[in-house]
Chains A and B, each alone.
Chain A
Amino acid sequence: MEGDISSQPGKILVVDDEPDVERLMRQRMRREIRSNQYEFIFAGNGIEALAKLQEHKDVHMVLSDINMPEMDGLTLLDEIPSVAPNVRSVIVSAYGDMKNIRTAMNRGAFDFVTKPIDFDDLRITIQRTLETIELWRSALESRDKLVVLENELSLANQMQQSILPKSFPATDSYQVFASMKAARDVGGDFYDMIFLENGRIGLAVADVSGKGIPAAMFMMSSRTLLRGAAIGHSNPAEILGEVNSLLCENNDTAMFVTLFFGIFDPVTGELVYANGGHNPPVIVGADGASGLLPTTDGVALGISPGFDFGESSIELAAGEMAVIYSDGVTEAENRAGEQFELDRLYDVFTGVPKRDARTTTVDVIAAVDAFADGNPQFDDITCLTLRRC
Chain B
Amino acid sequence: MMNVKTERMGDVLSADVEGRIDGSNVVQFEEAVRAVIENSDRAVIMNFEKLVYISSAGLRAILLTAKSLQKQDAKLLLCSLSDRIREVFEISGFDKILPIHATKDDALASLES
* Interface size classification for chain B: 10 to 19
B67 an interface residue at 8 Å Cβ cutoff? yes
Q: Which residues of chain A in 259-281 are interfacial with respect to chain B, using CB atoms and an 8 Å cutoff?
A: 276-280
- Cα A307 to Cα B94 in complex, Å, equals 12
| A299 and B97 contact, CB distance less than 8 A | yes
Q: Which of A185, A210, A279 contacts B91 (CB 8 A)?
A: A279
Q: Which of A186, A255, A299 contacts B93 (CB 8 A)?
A: A299
- Cα A254 to Cα B59 in complex, Å, equals 10
Chain B residues near A324 (CB-CB < 8 A):
none
A203 an interface residue at 8 Å Cβ cutoff? no
- Cα A254 to Cα B57 in complex, Å, equals 10
Known: A209-B57, A254-B64, A256-B63. A378 touches B94 (CB 8 A): no
| B23 and A254 contact, CB distance less than 8 A | no
Known: A186-B23, A378-B23. A254 touches B60 (CB 8 A): yes
Per DSSP, chain B at the interface is helix
| A304 and B97 contact, CB distance less than 8 A | yes
- Cα A256 to Cα B29 in complex, Å, equals 19
Minimum CB–CB distance for A321 against chain B, Å: 21
Chain A residues near B92 (CB-CB < 8 A):
258, 277, 299-300
| B67 and A304 contact, CB distance less than 8 A | no
Interface centre among B22, B59, B93 (most CB of A within 10 A): B93
| A211 and B93 contact, CB distance less than 8 A | no
Known: A378-B22, A378-B23. A209 touches B93 (CB 8 A): no
Minimum CB–CB distance for B46 against chain A, Å: 16
Known: A299-B93, A304-B93. A210 touches B57 (CB 8 A): yes
Chain A residues near B55 (CB-CB < 8 A):
331, 378-379
B28 an interface residue at 8 Å Cβ cutoff? no
B56 an interface residue at 8 Å Cβ cutoff? yes
| A209 and B60 contact, CB distance less than 8 A | yes
| A303 and B23 contact, CB distance less than 8 A | no
Chain B residues near A258 (CB-CB < 8 A):
56, 91-92
Chain B residues near A186 (CB-CB < 8 A):
23, 57
A207 an interface residue at 8 Å Cβ cutoff? yes
A44 an interface residue at 8 Å Cβ cutoff? no
| A277 and B91 contact, CB distance less than 8 A | yes
| 0 or 1 for each of A266-310: is its CB under 8 Å from B? (1 = yes) | 000000000011111000000000000000001110011001000
Minimum CB–CB distance for A282 against chain B, Å: 14
| A280 and B97 contact, CB distance less than 8 A | no
- Cα A11 to Cα B27 in complex, Å, equals 44
A interface vs B, CB < 8 Å?
185-186, 207, 209-211, 253-256, 258, 276-280, 298-300, 303-304, 307, 327, 331, 378-379
18 residue pairs bridging A and B, Cβ less than 8 Å apart = A209-B56, A210-B56, A210-B57, A211-B23, A254-B67, A256-B60, A258-B56, A258-B92, A277-B94, A280-B91, A299-B94, A300-B92, A300-B93, A303-B63, A307-B93, A307-B96, A327-B56, A378-B23
Knowing that A276-B93, A378-B22 touch, tell me 9 more A-B residue pairs with CB under 8 angstroms.
A207-B56, A209-B59, A256-B60, A277-B94, A280-B91, A299-B92, A299-B94, A299-B96, A307-B96
